[in-house]
């Protein structure tokens, strides 16, 4: 393996184990991503359980749910803009700095959401402020996922790249677990009126603590070795987004299609909280507990799938996850509509396990498809565009399903989304050997 020059970061350790610095980077990528996903997807839980009543009480219940999830989707409209800005800066001035900025922005947005007065208190200004804060969250998350992954994989020894690259991915499910745990705690300890009055605010205000810890951890890790080498050699691209669309547009399009599966099914998972309580009349604490349990099971499988991709190949593991997704996509709502707790949990669990199987290696696989000078932009923009498309699904599902109809078309849609992603990845050529610690192989 070609290693980074000692004048940049020093020689790389043995490929058979992670050094202390590499492990620190993995933990920083995990924790920071967990905090941002806690904030970002905690909003989705709030949209399912509280926002229709707190911020949209003057419209019909169905429209209120649609508006709540539409506001959730607004974050994804700003995500591409954030991906372009942070992608440019990440490829120009460094991965580490962007990760700190995005974390702080996300924390500010979440804290203000927790402090917004209700519609009853300040009228239409309440949902407008909520909309603005969601836009800030979307802008910030546009640079988070790509930066966290690149900090991990660009520090990793080649034989353990999939393992270290999976660290930020378990941050996604960890953030969802912590957010849902706090929402569950509020649901159990408080009456319904107390929860709507102030209990829903606690998870958003708790973000202050998490952001502080995440910032401290990220400040202690080193910049990506290959970025420092590129900076030293002055090989940075003037406008990375232009170079990306001219030379490396194909892997970006492939990334958009590949991520359509976890995005659509992941957001349907959030929609389930509203659909299950309002349409199926399932207990809110039960659904939150099921979500927590499914995400907890997802975490070790995500890490393991990233690890075994170092041995069996990333593409093969991703395809297994997509195949699971196609099966559960078609069966998800029929299982949930039975209202049988065991079958509801089974549907939620299998969905998360399918996502975990592909999630572990997929960002590492695509990191290997982009040159260093556009890698941040390629991952960030591809992720953002796919997220923008997928984030519309809860709002659409809210319109066609909250009246008790629509399970069949939604099941067909989920199956087709997974099948399309499967075909896309199956047709990819991923045999490009890249040393992400040095520019010598590019």
* pLDDT-derived band at 435, boundaries 50, 70, 90: low
Count of H helices and E strands in the chain? 21, 0
Say which range, 125-129, 170-174, 391-395, 423-427, has the weakest mean pLDDT: 391-395
Domain encompassing residue 179 = 20-433
Among 231, 234, 236, CA closest to 8: 231
Residue 61 placed within a domain = yes
CATH code: domain of residue 224: 1.20.1250.20
**How large is the average pLDDT for residues 135-160?**
87
Residue 11 placed within a domain = no
d(Cα 237, Cα 412) in Å, to the nearest integer?
43
**C-alpha 117, offset from chain centre:** 28
Residue 391 in tokens: 């984030």
149 pLDDT higher than 50: yes
* pLDDT-derived band at 439, boundaries 50, 70, 90: low
Considering Cα of 72, then 73, then 76, then 81, what sign does the dihedral take?
negative
Higher per-residue pLDDT: 356 or 440? 356
251 pLDDT higher than 70: yes
Residue 9 placed within a domain = no
Residue 441 placed within a domain = no
Residue 400 in tokens: 């066609």
Higher per-residue pLDDT: 296 or 433? 296
pLDDT of residue 442: 53
DSSP string, 294-327: HHHHHHHHHHHHHHHHHHH-HHHHHHHHHHHHHH
Average pLDDT, the chain: 84
Residue 225 placed within a domain = yes
**How large is the average pLDDT for residues 259-274?**
79
Residue 440 placed within a domain = no
Residue 314 placed within a domain = yes
Residues 6+ apart with CB under 8 A from 174: 30, 34, 37, 38, 295, 299
Q: What is the count of structural domains for the chain?
A: 1
Cβ atoms of 375 and 91 within 8 Å: the answer is yes
pLDDT of residue 339: 92
**Percent of the chain clearing pLDDT 70 (strictly above):** 91
Residue 4 placed within a domain = no
pLDDT in tens, 19-66: 888 888 888 888 888 887 788 778 878 887 889 999 999 888 878 888
d(Cα 193, Cα 205) in Å, to the nearest integer?
19
Question: pTM (2 decimals)?
Answer: 0.81
Say which range, 161-175, 330-344, 380-394, has the weakest mean pLDDT: 380-394
């Amino acid at each position: 393996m070609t290693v980074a020059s000692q004048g940049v970061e020093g020689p790389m350790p043995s490929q058979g184990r992670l050094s202390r610095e590499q492990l620190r980077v993995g933990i920083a990528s995990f924790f920071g991503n967990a905090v941002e996903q806690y904030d970002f997807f905690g909003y989705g839980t709030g949209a399912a359980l509280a926002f229709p009543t707190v911020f949209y009480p003057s419209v019909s219940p169905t429209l209120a749910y649609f508006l709540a999830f539409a506001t959730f989707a607004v974050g994804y409209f700003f995500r591409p803009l954030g991906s372009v800005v942070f992608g440019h800066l990440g490829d120009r001035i460094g991965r580490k700095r962007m990760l700190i900025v995005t974390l702080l922005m996300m924390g500010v947005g979440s804290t203000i959401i927790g402090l917004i007065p209700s519609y009853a208190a300040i009228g239409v200004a309440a949902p407008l402020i909520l909309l603005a804060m969601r836009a800030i969250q979307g802008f910030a998350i546009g640079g988070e996922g790509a930066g966290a992954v690149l900090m991990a994989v660009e520090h990793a020894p080649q034989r353990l790249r999939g393992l270290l690259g999976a660290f930020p991915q378990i941050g996604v499910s960890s953030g969802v677990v912590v957010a849902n745990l706090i929402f569950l705690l509020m649901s159990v300890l408080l009456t319904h009126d107390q929860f709507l009055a102030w209990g829903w605010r606690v998870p958003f205000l708790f973000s202050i603590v998490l952001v502080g810890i995440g910032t401290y951890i990220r400040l202690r890790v080193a910049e990506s070795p290959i970025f420092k080498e590129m900076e030293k050699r002055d090989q940075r691209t003037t406008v990375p987004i232009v170079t990306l669309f001219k030379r490396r547009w194909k892997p970006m399009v492939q990334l958009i299609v590949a991520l359509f599966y976890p995005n659509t099914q992941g957001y349907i998972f959030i929609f389930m909280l509203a659909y299950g309580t309002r349409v199926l009349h399932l207990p809110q604490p039960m659904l939150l507990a099921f979500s927590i349990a499914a995400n907890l099971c997802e975490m070790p499988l995500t890490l393991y799938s990233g690890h075994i991709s170092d041995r069996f190949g990333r593409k093969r593991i991703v395809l297994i996850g997509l195949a699971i997704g196609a099966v559960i996509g078609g069966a998800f709502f029929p299982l949930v509509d039975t209202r049988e707790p065991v079958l509801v949990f089974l549907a939620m669990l299998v969905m998360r396990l399918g996502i975990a199987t592909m999630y572990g290696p997929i960002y590492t696989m695509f990191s290997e498809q982009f040159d260093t000078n556009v890698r941040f932009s390629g991952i960030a923009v591809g992720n953002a565009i796919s997220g923008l498309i997928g984030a519309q699904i809860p709002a659409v599902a809210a319109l066609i399903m909250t009246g008790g109809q629509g399970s069949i078309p939604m099941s067909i849609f989920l199956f087709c989304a997974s099948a399309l992603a499967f075909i896309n990845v199956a047709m990819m050529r991923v045999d490009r050997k890249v040393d992400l610690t040095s520019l010598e192989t590019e």
